[in-house]
């Protein structure tokens, strides 16, 4: 029907005498009053086409009013008006745009086109909206074309290209023109050129336009009969399609009779037993399938039963016919160009998916690095297995939430929260070290149990204070959305911010450890506590500050993690296992090892999830198993600690 509308518009523009083309919209409606009063999608197309091609300046308004139930017919004289409902009836506007007064509802028949008719009217309106002075109307028309492309829209779209003043809309029109050209242009060379013009493009709209060009249907024909059409490939029964599918194609093409089922065969033979025989064969001899098939064939020859194929005949028929897939697009040049373009897209798409997976792995590695860097400090320097490290991350996230309760400006709160979270968790870490940890040095089992108990206590405290429901830690508006390279590669601004924060942490940590007295003393205590003490360094003080520093960094990491994860009392427990794995795999006591461990675990987890996306629990399990095997071969981690401390 839409093709009919397009054909009629073209006919009115090119073939109909100019006097007829000069008909006003009102005259066209009056001449076709019966069709307009009771329109249907099958009959109203020529009227809509005539209105669109009339050249009447009011045609677009009339069509729009008709589509929106704003066209009415006065019962007394059969005149058409644009109508607008009022309290007492309708306000009338003549089709030439002049005011026609008012009328009671009983005097007007409101025309209510169904959805099919409204679709045809909307299609006709597109050509008007493409050149509408309002850019919003033009954008709406382009959206309509993109949503429901049709061959009849190509000509008005091309006609509007040269007059488009808006650069953004001009680009959209040019892209849509090429998309419609590659699908609907009658010129094969123009279609191939349009396909080639999208070289390197990964747009979903392009793939949606190319895929129909490579749609295929299956056909069958006798071996000696050539098959017309643009053949995509030959099909082999048993490999490319089952024997049942192959024979069904023959039946659908009227090249073979329907298959004879065992039940129908038995019923036909029983019904045709005469004097103990079926088609001359004694019933006693019908004890094999071949004999029964032969009897049925004899009945077919006599015209007693309908034609049907036995198993042997099915096999013979399949072997004597050719089966192919034929493109629905008849032009081989177009399908070749489309296949070439889609293959290039698939190759580039695979590369982009790999890049996107790499960015996801990098983002996850940044999160694990932030979560583990504090643990690397305490574990590397003090050899303390702190099972409460995750709860310091949780305390940092809750600190950010509390800050936002008092500072509703999310940007300002994000500036205030990190130093405050560092202070809170630093103090908590120092208190924990002074009250518990320092009494348990060189007693790893007792330290593990004590810190595990503290982690449970901190979780319960958080539940008591903040409840069990997740609390929001809202990112500022400038962190909303994602950086989109194309339809495949996208990374959220929050993930980018976390990556930048991880780099800042790395730089600050290296500065502290390499350029400050505290860093020098920490490294000395890490390598040889006894020698450091003899040089005037207080190992007890260094251990306290180290534990506080590691806890404070965990608090800042909690804010970063809380921006995209749910802030609950279990937040830290979601990351404690990965934090320990990061430190152990990377190499205890080495910041570069922690970075390498985070990269390895983040990449490994994302890779496993990509291969098995439906089961994230399996991904965690496989990752742990891999790390266990890795530790067997490299027990000191990726970057092993050197010096005397390496033997501790």
Q: pLDDT per residue over 483-501, tens digit each?
A: 777 767 778 888 888 888 8
Q: How confident is the model at residue 408 (pLDDT cuts 50, 70, 90)?
A: confident
Centre a 10 Å sphere on the Cβ of residue 308 and count the other Cβ atoms it contains.
18
Q: What is the pLDDT of residue 589?
A: 64
Helix, strand, coil: what percent of the chain each, to 5?
65, 10, 25
Rounded distance, CA 289 to CA 279, Å?
15
Q: pLDDT per residue over 45-55, tens digit each?
A: 888 888 877 77
**Which of 260-269's residues contact partners 24+ apart within 8 Å by CB, and which partners?**
260/296, 260/308, 260/309, 260/310, 264/308, 265/292, 265/293, 265/296, 265/310, 266/292, 268/296, 268/299, 268/305, 269/295, 269/296, 269/299
Share of the chain above pLDDT 70, in %: 93
Kindly state the tokens that stand for 15.
């073939």
337-341, 430-434, 599-603, range with the lowest pLDDT: 599-603
Q: What is the pLDDT of residue 121?
A: 82
Kindly state the tokens that stand for 395.
């305390």
Using N-to-C axis directions, what is the helix angle for 493-515 and 332-382, rounded to 10°?
A: 40
Mean pLDDT over residues 115-144, rounded?
A: 83
List, in sequence order, every residue forming a beta bridge with 85; answer none if it has no partner: 90
Q: Which helix (H) or strand (E) holds 82?
A: strand 80-85
Please say if the pLDDT value at position 22 is more than 70.
no
Comparing CA positions, the residue from 373, 412, 414 lying closest to residue 397 is: 414
Q: pLDDT per residue over 504-521, tens digit each?
A: 888 888 888 888 888 888
Sign for the pseudo-dihedral over CA of 613, 614, 616, 617 = negative
Tell me the chain's radius of gyration from C-alpha atoms.
39
Q: What is the pLDDT of residue 614?
A: 65
Domain ranges in the chain?
2-129, 350-647
Rounded distance, CA 618 to CA 612, Å?
8
Kindly state the tokens that stand for 11.
């006919």
Sign for the pseudo-dihedral over CA of 64, 65, 68, 71 = negative
Mean pLDDT over residues 305-325, rounded?
A: 86
As a whole number of Å, the end-to-end CA separation of the chain is 84
Token look-up 């924990």 returns: 432
Please say if the pLDDT value at position 163 is more than 80.
yes
Q: What is the pLDDT of residue 641?
A: 57
Q: pLDDT per residue over 424-477, tens digit each?
A: 999 999 999 899 988 888 788 888 899 999 999 999 999 999 988 888 888 888
Contacts of residue 58, Cβ cutoff 8 Å, sequence gap at least 6: 25, 95, 96, 97
Residue 538 has phi, psi (to 5 degrees) of -90, 100
Q: Say yes or no: domain 350-647 is CATH 1.10.3470.
A: yes
Q: pLDDT per residue over 256-294, tens digit each?
A: 888 888 888 888 888 888 888 888 888 888 888 888 888
**DSSP 8-class letter at 187:** -
- The reported pTM is 0.64
**Contact, 246 vs 218, CB < 8 A?**
no
């Amino acid at each position: 029907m839409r093709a009919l509308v397009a054909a009629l518009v073209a006919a009115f523009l090119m073939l109909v005498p100019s006097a007829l083309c000069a008909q006003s919209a009102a005259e066209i409606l009056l001449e076709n009053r019966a069709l307009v009063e009771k329109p249907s999608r099958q009959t109203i197309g020529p009227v809509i086409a005539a209105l669109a091609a009339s050249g009447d300046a009011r045609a677009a308004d009339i069509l729009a009013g008709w589509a929106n139930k704003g066209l009415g017919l006065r019962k007394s004289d059969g005149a058409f008006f644009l109508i607008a409902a009022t309290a007492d009836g309708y306000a009338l506007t003549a089709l030439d745009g002049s005011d026609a007064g008012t009328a009671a509802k009983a005097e007007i028949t409101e025309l209510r086109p169904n959805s099919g008719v409204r679709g045809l009217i909307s299609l006709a309106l597109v050509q008007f909206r493409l050149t509408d002075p309002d850019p919003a109307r033009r954008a709406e028309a382009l959206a309509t074309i993109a949503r429901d492309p049709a061959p009849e829209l190509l000509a008005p779209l091309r006609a509007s290209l040269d007059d488009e003043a808006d650069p953004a809309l001009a680009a959209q029109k040019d892209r849509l023109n090429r998309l419609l050209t590659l699908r609907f242009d009658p010129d094969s060379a123009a279609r191939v050129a349009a396909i080639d013009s999208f070289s390197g493009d990964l747009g979903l709209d392009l793939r949606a336009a190319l895929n129909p060009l490579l749609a295929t249907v299956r056909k069958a024909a006798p071996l000696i009969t050539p098959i017309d059409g643009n053949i995509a490939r030959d099909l082999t029964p048993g490999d490319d399609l089952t024997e049942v599918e192959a024979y069904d194609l023959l039946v659908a093409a009227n090249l073979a009779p329907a298959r004879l089922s065992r039940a129908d065969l038995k019923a036909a033979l029983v019904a045709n037993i005469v004097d103990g025989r079926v088609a001359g064969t004694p019933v006693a001899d019908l004890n094999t399938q071949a004999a029964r098939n032969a009897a049925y064939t004899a009945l077919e020859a006599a015209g007693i039963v309908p034609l049907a194929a036995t198993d042997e005949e099915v096999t013979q028929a399949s072997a004597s016919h050719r089966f192919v897939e034929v493109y629905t697009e008849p032009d081989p040049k177009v399908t070749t160009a489309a296949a070439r373009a889609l293959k290039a897209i698939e190759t580039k798409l695979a590369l982009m998916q790999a890049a996107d997976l790499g960015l996801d792995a990098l983002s996850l590695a940044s999160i694990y690095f932030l979560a583990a860097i504090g643990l690397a400090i305490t574990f590397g320097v003090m050899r303390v297995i702190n099972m409460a490290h995750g709860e310091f991350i949780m305390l940092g996230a809750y600190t950010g939430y509390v800050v936002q309760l008092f500072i509703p400006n999310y940007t300002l709160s994000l500036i205030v929260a990190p130093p405050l979270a560092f202070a809170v968790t630093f103090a908590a870490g120092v208190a924990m070290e002074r009250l518990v940890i320092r009494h348990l040095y060189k007693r790893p089992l007792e330290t593990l149990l004590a810190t595990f108990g503290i982690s449970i206590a901190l979780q319960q405290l958080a539940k008591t204070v903040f409840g069990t429901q997740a609390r929001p830690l809202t990112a500022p508006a400038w962190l909303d959305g994602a950086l989109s390279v194309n339809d495949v590669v996208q990374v959220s601004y929050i993930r980018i911010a976390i990556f930048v924060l991880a780099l800042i942490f790395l730089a600050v940590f290296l500065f502290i450890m390499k350029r400050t007295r505290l860093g020098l003393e920490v490294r000395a205590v890490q390598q040889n506590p006894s020698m450091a003490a003899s040089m005037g360094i207080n190992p007890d003080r260094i251990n306290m500050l180290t534990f506080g520093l590691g806890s404070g960094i965990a608090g800042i990491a909690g804010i970063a993690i809380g921006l995209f994860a749910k802030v609950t009392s279990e937040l830290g427990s979601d990351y404690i296992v990965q934090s320990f794995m990061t430190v152990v795999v990377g190499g205890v006591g080495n910041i570069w090892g922690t970075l390498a461990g985070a990269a390895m675990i983040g990449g490994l987890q994302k890779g496993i999830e990509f291969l098995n996306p439906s089961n994230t629990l399996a991904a965690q399990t496989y990752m742990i198993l891999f790390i266990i095997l890795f530790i067997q071969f490299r027990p000191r981690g990726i970057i092993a600690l050197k010096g005397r401390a390496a033997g501790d």
